Amino acid sequence: MENGLSPAFHLPAANGNMRRVFAYLIKQRHIAPAVITHFAHERTLYESREFLGEPKREIHNAVFVGKDREGTPRHAHKRSLNSYGAGYKGNTDGSNPAYSFCHIGTSSWLFVFEAPIDLLSYLTLYPDNWQEHSYVALCGVAEHAMLGRLQEYPHLHTVILCMDNDVAGLNATERLTDILWDYGYMDIWQGRSRCKDWNEDLIALHGGTPKPAVPHVYRDLFMESLDAMQCRPCSNLERTRARIWTFYKDYSQTGDLESVRRTAETAATGVGLIRARLGVSADCVDGFDGFRREYRAGYRSYRDKSPVTARQTAFERAVRVVMTDLGEHAARSPEDYLVTADKLTTLFDASAKLYARLRMEQLEDQAFEQRQEYQK
């Protein structure tokens, strides 16, 4: 890079044949030869031959090329051909992230993958009429290549997110879904590999030992705690205020984890009560259930990453705001009720997230103690 300018894009120098690429992808990755041949003929997959380092060493990589609509190469992703170990993978300098390895078909479907080998693996697993549909590898989890294909090819409007079956992939699926909604794409589906990714599914199919899927333990725990919460019916918001203060004091003085959960339940019950008062729900319980469903649908684990200290601060602040609000209004207008519902929602969010994180730490501590006991 010179004068602050991005480096010019150049494809890595090509080898005279693709022997190593075919051997690696077929023998190590179990990709179907017909799939490899297709992309080789399209000149979007080839074998590079470069001399790098000091002293110079001959390096061969699989190169996955991304082209624009006119067929001009704009992106190249290199993957080392090592049989063992993690190996090198990365984009060449000057690659435009809006263009990466892809296939464009005639249907409205766009399948989105993290890596080119995931894409090839999926085509190997599900070969029927695959060329009718479109596929793109993000070469990571950023959205640029997905949006680039959607904007460049207007016939694409159904998106199937086929990210890795691990924490990063599950978080990326949520984030990409939100981005697609922001751009007006509503027909969004998820494809989920049985193992960690689509190539691991292929390895399992061929009798190998695949890397297993990695569950999103925190997200699963959060959803379980959310589903287990119960409405705490009360006749008025003054009673709601008293309960919140009691549970808050219990947690502040004793560190009782269940008091945080009860605070969340009481805040959600308060929202349910307001919905019933405004005629949105049949009664407090119906309002509670509707609020919880909506909150569950809108929850995003990729946004829920703050440390316990920040969660405790948010929880304490939300309690103070609600206590002040519920202590101020003797008679409430519909607008007042809506403002109070927003503040109770903020308290519910802070309480639910603090409870889940504290519960997660509790389980991690128990698991650590069990391992220590086992090692004695």
pLDDT of residue 2: 45
How does pLDDT run across 23-63, given as a tens digit for each residue? Answer: 999 999 999 999 999 999 999 999 999 887 777 888 899 99
The pTM of the full predicted model, rounded to 2 decimals, is 0.90
Q: What is the pLDDT of residues 188-239, one digit of tens each?
A: 999 999 999 999 999 999 999 999 999 999 999 999 999 999 999 888 999 9
- Residue 143: give the domain boundaries: 19-205
Q: Does any domain span residue 349?
A: yes
- Together in a domain, 200 and 239: no
Same domain assignment for residues 262 and 347: yes
- 8 Å CB contact between 26 and 64: no
* Residue among 318, 308, 291, 310 at smallest CA distance from 362: 308
Last residue of a domain, one of 148, 181, 205: 205
| Residue for token pair 């001959």 | 58
Number of domains present in the structure of the chain? 2
Do both 252 and 308 map to the same domain? yes
User: Of 205, 240, 273, which closes a domain?
Assistant: 205
**The CATH number of the domain where 161 resides is what?**
3.40.1360.10
Same domain, 250 and 285: yes
Low-confidence stretches of the chain (pLDDT < 50) are 1-4
For residues 103 and 223, membership in a common domain is answered with no
Q: Among 161, 176, 205, which residue terminates a domain? A: 205
Same domain? For 252 and 353 the reply is yes
In a domain, 186, yes or no: yes
Q: What is the pLDDT of residue 369?
A: 72
User: Can you list the alpha helix ranges (DSSP code H) found in the chain?
Assistant: 19-23, 33-41, 116-125, 144-152, 167-182, 198-205, 217-228, 237-254, 257-277, 284-298, 308-328, 334-375
